[in-house]
Structure 1
Amino acid sequence: MMANLFSVFDPSTSWGYPLNWFSCLVGFVFLPYIFWFMPNRLNALFNRVLGVLHGELGLILGLRGYKSTLVFISLFFLIFFNNFLGLFPYVFTGTSHLAVTLSFAAPLWLGFMVYGWFNHTMHMLGHLVPQGTPGVLMPFMVCIETVSNLIRPGTLAVRLAANMIAGHLLLTLLGNQGPGLGVIFLSLLILTQILLLILEAAVAVIQSYVFAILSTLYCSEVN
């Protein structure tokens, strides 16, 4: 029995060890089959998704960073597997915790900042003052842009975790109402749950894509 509504995000297990964190690695189990089996529809779909992502991320990064899209494509699939597998019963959703999402966002942001300030210092300084800003407002714009840059990893992490938490909480809240309902309302509840699961599957893909796109945009700003 749950102690509270947020118990569904508790990483502890009945053995007393946080073994549920191993669910973050479950997605890697599915990848080798694509490469070792003979070409099939799953392989074709995977390659098609890779091509689309490579093309879109390459347009953002430009010719200089066109070959570095693999980092962000890998990040997309890692987040997607964690989001999607978390929809299955008794599978822990790692991306609903800020510890996981921050571990994705913070190192990327820090790497971009270190690379940009050491290699393109004037370019980074130019980003602090948008073109056409009046001289009186320049000190304020520098403060605003600095704060905006500093909170980027936090906004990336909170956006992903909040979207995962919101959907799971809604599914849990509605599911707890099932035992006390009649046949008609129970049927409506099951239909609603199915529709919500479809929506959550779409959110799993969208949030992975948004995270990868925003990370790519931040990378393109330092070049």
Structure 2
Amino acid sequence: MNSTHKFTSKTLAVALLVALASTGTAMAQRTQGSPARSQQQAEAAAQVATDSANAARESAQSARDATATAAPGYGPSASQYASDAQDAANRAVNAAHDAHGAQDVATSGANPASGAAEAREAASAASGASLQAQQAAEAAVQAATPPAPAMPATPAVPAVGASAQQQVNVTSSPPNSTLSAKVDFDSLDADRDGNLSRTEVGTNSMLASNFGRIDADHNGRITRKELAGGM
């Protein structure tokens, strides 16, 4: 977050330096008849070039710092961008030197307007190189930083199936005591042994379908107590 803000601020500053440096031939024509104005323009252009060179040096340093602290495996890519940033910084410094040399020509030479124009061209070159250094530094920072891990997907909540719903319905069925009031135990107990077998309840669909649940001790027979809800 802080690195992004730093580079954004630097971008605006470099853009301003480029704008100041790009006065062009029209300015040279206006200053040709005024040596004092040409000298002022040359001085301003030299200052722009110096500021651009300083900004380029800062960008190159940021790129080197990013390479030094790169995550394992990310250093080589960041190092290449750092090298590009340093090359651009060197060009900015050289252009700044040219701008100051042109300022000397504007101040003490026979053609101040020509010196001012050369100073502006050098300042423009320094500003452009500074912008390239900043872009390479930003790329170095990004290359040195591994991407954030992807957030795990939230598992889907399984839908309640028909079998689960059926199970809930069975569990919530009324107790067996309600069956004893609906079933004629004696008429179903064909062998009169006091128990109802699966064969004996075959004619009663309600008992047949719930036989396993009513047969509490699972001995294959339903007693009167089991039918009433007890043992």
More helix by share: 1
TM-score, with structure 1 as normaliser: 0.38
Q: TM-score, normalised by structure 2?
A: 0.37
